Amino acid sequence: MKTDAKSTPEPSGFIAWFEQFLKSELAPYPGRGVVVARTVIAATITMLLIMTFRVPGGALGALYAFLISRESLRSTFRSGVAIAVSYVAAVTFVLVAANAFADQQSARILWFAGSMFVTFFGLRTLRHAEVATGFAILVVNALPIWQVPQTAEYRVEQTLWQVLAVGIGTTVTITVEIVFHAFRPRDEIVDEIRERLDAVRALLLAYGINKPVPSETVDRVARYSIVGTSGLRRELARSGYEAAANDRWSTVISLVGRVVDLGISAGERPRLSLRDHEHLRKLDTQLLQVQTSLGNWKNPLIIDESVASAALTSSIPQLGEMDRSLSLLAEVLQGADRFVRPFSTTDSRTNNIVNERDQPSLFIPDAFRNPEHIMFAIRGCLAATLCYLIYELANWRGIATSVTTCVITALSTAGSSRQKQVLRMGGAIAGGLILGMGSQVFVLPYIDSITSFAILFAAATAIGAWIATSSSRLSYFGVQLALAFYLINLQEFTIQTSLTVARDRVVGILLGLFMMWFVFDGIGGATAGDTMMGAFCLNIRTLAEMFQQIGRPNLSAATQRVHDLREEIRSHFDKVNAQADGVPFEFGLRRERGMAWRNLIHKWQPRLRTVYFLGAASFQHRLFEENDALPASFWTAIDWVHRDSAQLLTLMADRLEGKLTSPGRTSQVDSRLLLLRESVPAMMLTPVQLQRACGVIDLSRQACDELTAVLREMINSNVVGNISQADRLSAAHSVIERM
């Protein structure tokens, strides 16, 4: 979404665009310097320990400074425990398999391929990213040791050295994080959201004065818009929140990102009327209330109802949309205590099944049901095994870094295939050829102390860390740069006197990148735009299935299915966002269509998140009923409303996919809710039941209103599906008449 199109002139030519791109991505923002400093300190201390105690294979140990969670002290401890478990599992896996296959040369290729399949399958399906990463990194570095004809004692010793190297990196990084948290306690998610809202407030205040908006104010909001919310979503994924709290924060993050985009898209200084000035003042008050309510869910949030009426007459569409996003955000914040409870506190009727579903699980819910996970593992296994065959057949084990590169590359969640390829290749060249081999030629011959090398190492790490803290459009470049530099200069505890080693490792990195591109992207790879739209449509259908579960008579079975669907929905939301970040890097005839889809999805995604949140809240009303349970007739009536919502969602997916399906009986949703509300007094409910029934009806009303509004926009859009203009106008007329 080109959110700063009005505030910043569109550059003419690739060079001008690239300069502006780098300027926006590499500009400082609040908290960036601290994160870089923590990374540099952790990586440098790790390097000093590895050099001092002469630990071979230290490159990946230093790389852990880039991989370990930094969101909160709790998540840091969780990461440390998870990584320790992954080390034990990886060493056990390698040594047990080595006992069976290491001395059978004909079986080594099968052993290697099978191990790579398990590794890539774990990267895709293990619930905790830290466990998957630790397991994969140790396995991929230990396996080449057992492919070399040496004594068993030597190979066991070298395997344990690998464990020590990554163990040092893990311990040092966690210790540095604990020290920083002790001196600078901070809730990363809450503070970063508040900083974004504060930047929007400053921009809105600047809009309201009769002077040009300061460039630093525009740049601050534009920077947050460019960086996006992917970093916040990663922090949330690693935070360890329960499912209900995770849903709430995910919705808040998405809506705040929408507010930032709307703020910068209004222009450098929009033309305002007197009514717009009053609207800006009220929006500022609303933003301030949201800021103070974050992290304090019991604090009542009072929203000025007059803002909605001002939004209807505003001359700036972005202000009206911002008000809508803030209103949705208020609903999320206000409903936190009423509707969101952890699944572990159910009543006795559902306690057994829910507690069973909430037991810790190593794998994601669809790990063994989704064929995409198997295909990912097969492709990763094929890429790594091809690298292994090449360096074994060529007797060129110096390029064994190709296998490591395959695994590290698979950790990336950057958007499009071409985007990832550019970032990987560019990072390998910058870190391997320029920084790595450049330092071997021009710097290291003149260094005679560990202090001088530490300065060089810290400088290279700082470059990689600064780039790694950019948005997903550039961040992986920094990680790949650091990896390439470390593989050349930190794999041994001595300074290399020959460029042959550096050359081989750079060739290995490039070979690994080529194989990953060839297997993942060259063979039937889809564009980021198509993948984004496919994931978006799949998520809409998954949401429809969730609404269908709410009224199922078998509450235990519905609870199990909703629990799994919530995991899938969150995964789909993240996939859509990741692919949307990569659409600008696509080329060819489909790029324009992909950009148009991206703009619409950025608009619809937060609203679907809100619908998901409201649907989950409705289900929890039914699941967590206490003594004053609502009558079955009420839930039967609500079930029909939820089925209507599911029909609306299915119709959305059909329209996006270009299917000319019948609009169905969606016109009944309003009449059903009206009749239900009118029939509630006749149910002879207690005051508690009446309040709960009205709450469920209000939730259903809000969800249906959001779905109806989004469906109208989808039907009227000129880039949706393959529907012709005549078909689209006819469908719009028939559907809107029924709503």
* Residue 238 predicted with pLDDT over 90: no
Q: Quick one: how far is CA 449 from the chain centroid?
A: 42
> Which phi and psi (to 5°) does residue 126 adopt?
-65, 135
398/497: higher pLDDT: 398
* Residue 357 predicted with pLDDT over 50: no
3-state percent helix, strand, coil for the chain, nearest multiple of 5: 75, 0, 25
| Cβ-based neighbours of 221, under 8 Å, separated by 6 or more | 199, 200, 202, 203, 260, 263, 264
45/447: higher pLDDT: 45
Range 161-184 average pLDDT: 85
pLDDT in the model for residue 200: 87
pLDDT in the model for residue 308: 46
522 to 406, 526, 614: CA distances (angstroms): 15, 9, 41
* Residue 461 predicted with pLDDT over 90: yes
Distance, in Å, from the CA atom of 568 to the CA atom of 584, rounded to the nearest integer, reads 26
Which long-range CB contacts under 8 A does 339-344 form with residues at least 24 apart?
Answer: 339/617, 339/620, 339/621, 339/695, 339/699, 340/244, 340/245, 340/247, 340/248, 340/617, 340/620, 341/244, 341/620, 341/624, 342/242, 342/243, 342/244, 342/245, 343/242, 343/243, 343/244, 343/563, 344/242
- Torsion angle of alpha carbons 59, 60, 66, 72, nearest 10°? -130
Alpha-carbon Rg for the chain in angstroms:
27
584 contacts 595 by C-beta, under 8 angstroms:
yes
439/148: higher pLDDT: 439
| Cβ-based neighbours of 430, under 8 Å, separated by 6 or more | 477, 481, 484
pLDDT bucket at 100, cuts 50 / 70 / 90 = confident
Nearest residue to 486 (alpha-carbon basis) of 66, 154, 35: 66
pLDDT in the model for residue 217: 81
The DSSP call for residue 432 is I
Q: At CA 324, angle to CA 321 and CA 328, rounded to 5?
A: 140
Helices 591-623 and 687-716: crossing angle in degrees, nearest 10, is: 170
pLDDT in the model for residue 43: 94
Helices 188-207 and 215-227: crossing angle in degrees, nearest 10, is: 140
690 to 28, 378, 621, 632, 684: CA distances (angstroms): 53, 55, 13, 14, 9
pLDDT tens digits for range 709-738: 888 888 777 655 443 333 333 333 333 333
What is the average pLDDT score of the chain? 75
532 contacts 579 by C-beta, under 8 angstroms:
yes
Beta bridge partners of 408: none
pLDDT tens digits for range 564-617: 787 788 778 877 877 776 676 666 666 777 778 888 888 888 888 878 877 877
* Residue 29 predicted with pLDDT over 70: yes
248/241: higher pLDDT: 248
365 to 375, 568, 571: CA distances (angstroms): 17, 8, 11
| Range with the poorest average pLDDT among 327-336, 365-374, 637-646 | 327-336
* Residue 496 predicted with pLDDT over 70: no
696 contacts 677 by C-beta, under 8 angstroms:
no
Distance, in Å, from the CA atom of 673 to the CA atom of 28, rounded to the nearest integer, reads 51
pLDDT in the model for residue 184: 73
Range 474-491 average pLDDT: 86
Q: Report residue 603 as tokens.
A: 């608009």
Q: Report residue 375 as tokens.
A: 């295909």
pLDDT in the model for residue 574: 74
pLDDT bucket at 343, cuts 50 / 70 / 90 = very low
Total number of residues shown for the chain = 739
Range 397-410 average pLDDT: 84
Range 633-637 average pLDDT: 77
Q: At CA 87, angle to CA 84 and CA 91, rounded to 5?
A: 150
Percent of the chain clearing pLDDT 70 (strictly above):
72
Counting runs of H as helices and runs of E as strands, what totals does the chain give? Answer: 30, 0
373/73: higher pLDDT: 373
**pTM for the structure as a whole:** 0.64
* Residue 121 predicted with pLDDT over 90: yes
pLDDT in the model for residue 725: 37
Q: Report residue 247 as tokens.
A: 């849903």
pLDDT in the model for residue 511: 92
* Residue 528 predicted with pLDDT over 60: yes
560 to 381, 406, 468, 538, 556: CA distances (angstroms): 33, 36, 39, 20, 6
| Range with the poorest average pLDDT among 276-285, 292-301, 551-560 | 292-301
412 to 254, 443, 474, 495, 519: CA distances (angstroms): 21, 31, 11, 30, 16
* Residue 113 predicted with pLDDT over 90: yes
pLDDT bucket at 69, cuts 50 / 70 / 90 = low
Range 459-478 average pLDDT: 87
* Residue 474 predicted with pLDDT over 90: no
Distance, in Å, from the CA atom of 588 to the CA atom of 416, rounded to the nearest integer, reads 13
Q: Quick one: how far is CA 355 from the chain centroid?
A: 27
pLDDT in the model for residue 616: 75
pLDDT in the model for residue 47: 93
Nearest residue to 325 (alpha-carbon basis) of 281, 296, 287, 280: 287
pLDDT tens digits for range 661-705: 554 444 455 566 666 666 666 676 777 777 777 777 777 777 888
Q: According to the per-residue pLDDT averaged within each range, which of 44-53, 137-146, 219-228, 619-628 is highest? A: 44-53
Report the b/e string of 406-443 with b at 16+ CB within 10 A.
Answer: bbbbbebbbbbbbbbbbbbbebbbbbbbebbbebbeeb
3-class secondary-structure state, position 550: coil
6/523: higher pLDDT: 523
* Residue 2 predicted with pLDDT over 60: no
Q: Which amino acid is at 99?
A: N
Classify burial at 655, counting beta carbons within 10 Å of its beta carbon; exposed 0-12, middle 13-18, buried 19 or more: buried
Range 250-255 average pLDDT: 78
| Cβ-based neighbours of 305, under 8 Å, separated by 6 or more | none
CB atoms within 10 A of CB 45: 20
Q: Which amino acid is at 75?
A: S
DSSP assignment of 143-160, as one string?
HHHHTS---HHHHHHHHH
List of domains in the chain: 31-185+370-522 (no CATH), 188-239+243-336 (no CATH), 528-737 (1.20.58)
pLDDT in the model for residue 117: 95
pLDDT in the model for residue 386: 94
Classify burial at 267, counting beta carbons within 10 Å of its beta carbon; exposed 0-12, middle 13-18, buried 19 or more: middle
Percent of the chain clearing pLDDT 90 (strictly above):
11
Range 412-431 average pLDDT: 67
